[in-house]
Amino acid sequence: MWLLKLAWKNLWRNRSRTLITLSAIFFAVILSATTNSLQDGVFDHFIRNMVSFYSGYIQVHKDGYWDQQVLDNGFERRASLEESITNHSGVISVAPRIESYALASAEDITKGCMVVGIDPKTENAITFLSDKIVQGTYFSDNEVQKVALLSEGLANRLNLNLNDTVILISQGYHGAMAAGKYRVSGIVHFGSPQLNDQLLYLPITVAQEFYSAENLLTSYVLSMNSDKNLKSTAQELQTTLGKEYEVMTWMEMLPEVEQHIKTDKGSMYIISGVLYLLIGFGIFGTFLMMMAERRFELGMLIAIGMKKHKIVMVLLVESVLYVLVGCLVGICISIPITWYLKVNPIRFGGDMAEIYLQYGFEPIFPASTDVWIFITQGIIVLVMGLALSLYPMMKVWRMDPVTAMKK
């Protein structure tokens, strides 16, 4: 008990040094927690944008569909299948789709387009399609009329306006002839030019009818409550659904996006590494200072009969208190900071911003307020501080009182 007291008093022996060390530690925690929270936030934001774009976090297809994306590789829509997917933990909603290519024409213009049959309600839950409507209205929940949503670019190229008629021609299921006339009930805008020039949505039953593929789907698009453990969730789903289906994560469907994130994360890790190095030197510096200042005193304690392990205990308690208090204060202060950054995300400009805007993303760096970030950063700094405090302890362990007390 009195050892604890001695350690506590030692903490306050040199107020300015204590404050310097404490602030070094707590700035360290703040910096690393905010950087990490920004990193995570940015990638989260990016991924959420990417997947809510079109792909969703996970898709289920008939096995082999991704390599050859044709209707003949579709599968039958079954309530039991849908249920076993929805029942999987982490899955929020499942949107069925039927997708294929068609020729769209209006008067004498014809363009290729991707016809996507969607269930209006579940599709909207995942890709927020109704938010992208710039003219007209979104489909009603169980739309059965022959209506179509055109992407803005496609509508422009076909010279089509709201309530005009678009004619679709394609090859249906098993080589059937597909043709139909649809009223343009809405126009949607996509940030990505690729999507904006190609997409045409039909209510799912209308699309199935068009393709003469009653009850046929090409994919289920899944939304998840978190992008954590995506891979293992996908694997579990694959096991549940069996070999007949293929379960793919967005990372498999959009490998170039994943690559981009990996590269970015790599450079972030380097930044974190440099940060930790600085933190480490800061903490070590104060330990060096402290040992220089207390050499005589510690030597004297050994001389008068204080066992080295007791001195080491005192030093250990001191460093734990130091680092712990620093970390806690740091965590407490970084929480409001990151919270603020989450609510008021940093906006950036330049080429990056251009690219983001082009894809319909907000050019912002939102912060993540995942508690694990604070806990891990706190623990990292704590472990670092404790590892560094081995230095003074080793010094004491090797200390010879006579030498230590020499001027």
Partner 1 sequence: MDTIIDAHHITKTYNPKTIPVVAVNDVHLHLERGEFTALVGPSGSGKTTLLNLIGGLDKPDTGNIIIHGTDITKLSANQLIDFRLRNIGFVFQAFNLIPVLSARENVELIMQLQGVSRNEINQRVQVLFRQIGMEDKINTRPSQLSGGQQQRVAVARALASRPQVVLADEPTANLDSKSAGNLLDIMAKLNQEENMTFIFSTHDQRVIERARRVITLVDGKIVTDTAQVDTSPAVHG
Q: Which DSSP symbol is given to 138? A: P
The correct pick among 76, 83, 107, 297 for binding partner 1 (CB under 8 A) is: 297
Question: Is residue 160 within 8 Å of residue 134, measured between CB atoms?
Answer: no
Residue closer to partner 1 (CB basis): 198 or 286? 286
Q: Kindly state the tokens that stand for 25.
A: 């530690």
Q: Which two tokens stand for residue 344?
A: 């008021």
Q: Are 75 and 62 in contact (CB under 8 A)?
A: yes
Place of tokens 């480490």: 280
Give which of 29, 40, 20 is closest to 334, Cα–Cα: 29
The CB-of-322 to partner 1 minimum distance in angstroms stands at 15
The tokens for 330 are: 């740091």
CA distance 209 to 204: 9
6 binds partner 1 (CB under 8 A): yes
Q: Which residue lies nearer to partner 1 by CB, 261 or 291? A: 291
- Per CB under 8 A, the segment of 80-88, 113-121, 257-265, 296-304 that binds partner 1 is 296-304
Cα 70 to its chain centre, rounded Å, is 31
Among residues 43, 276, 296, 365, which is the contact residue for partner 1, using CB under 8 A? Answer: 296
- What is the rounded distance in angstroms from the CA atom of residue 190 to the CA atom of residue 122? 19
Task: Number of helices (H) and strands (E) in the chain: give both, helices first.
Answer: 15, 14
- Choices 62-70, 208-216, 299-307, 346-354 (CB under 8 A): range interacting with partner 1: 299-307
Where in 306-325 is the site for partner 1 (CB under 8 A)?
306-308, 310
**Is residue 394 at the binding interface for partner 1, with CB under 8 A as the rule?**
no
Closer residue to partner 1 in complex, CB, 297/362: 297
Q: Would you say 183 or 310 has its CB closer to partner 1?
A: 310
Question: Does 2 engage in binding with partner 1 (CB under 8 A)?
Answer: yes
User: Closest CB to partner 1 among 20 and 405?
Assistant: 405
Closest CA to 324 of 16, 31, 35, 21: 21
Stretch of 141-149, 181-189, 295-303, 345-353 lying at the interface with partner 1 (CB under 8 A)? 295-303
Distances (CA, A) of 92 to 51, 88, 103, 278: 14, 9, 34, 43
Choices 7-15, 37-45, 48-56, 191-199; region in contact with partner 1 by CB under 8 A: 7-15
Query: Measuring CA to CA, how many Å separate 148 from each of 77, 153, 201, 304?
Result: 22, 14, 6, 91
CB of 404 to partner 1, least distance (A): 11
303/357 with CB nearer partner 1: 303
Asked if 286 touches partner 1 (CB under 8 A), the answer is no
Strands 199-203, 109-118: pairing kind: parallel
Contact pick of 12, 89, 108, 350 for partner 1 (by CB under 8 A): 12
Task: Using CB under 8 A, pick the residue from 304, 349, 350, 398 that binds partner 1.
Answer: 304
Which residue's entry shows tokens 């990638």? 43
Rounded least distance, CB 25 to partner 1, Å = 21
Cβ-based neighbour number of residue 404 at 10 Å: 19
User: How many binding residues for partner 1 (CB under 8 A)?
Assistant: 21
Q: 3-state DSSP call for residue 57?
A: coil
Minimum distance, C-beta of residue 15 to partner 1, in the bound complex (Å): 11
Instruction: Provide, rounded to whole angstroms, the least separation between the CB of residue 314 and partner 1.
Output: 11
Residues in contact with partner 1 by CB under 8 A are 2, 6, 9-10, 12-13, 296-297, 300-308, 310, 401-402, 405
